[in-house]
Amino acid sequence: MIPGKTVQLPTELLARYDRFAEHENEARQRAGLGPISGLDLLHVVAARFAGLPTPHDVDLDAIRAREGLSADMWTPPNPPVGKPPT
């Protein structure tokens, strides 16, 4: 584990990602996948933004379309495992 600082996330941010997770979980249930929490969804967004692989299959474009999110939610696609992002 990489040592680092622990920060308190704003309540509004966590509440927003909890709402996003509710919408995502509807699609995941139809696809036969397990639910994802708002915090896990936030981890997915941060990891994808950093170009890291993620353990969750999440359709961020669909979440963005349903919620009318701003462009800051866009994340680049994950590079193949073992290849650095371009």
Tokens 């073992």, residue located: 82
Model-level pTM?
0.54
pLDDT tens for the 86 residues of the chain, in order: 456 677 787 888 889 999 988 988 888 888 888 888 898 888 888 877 777 777 666 666 666 555 554 444 445 555 556 666 55
Q: What is the pLDDT at residue 71?
A: 45
Domain locations in the chain?
Answer: 11-73
Tokens 């509440």, residue located: 15
| b/e sequence 35-66, b meaning 16+ C-beta within 10 Å | ebebebbbbbbebbeeeeebeeebebeebbee
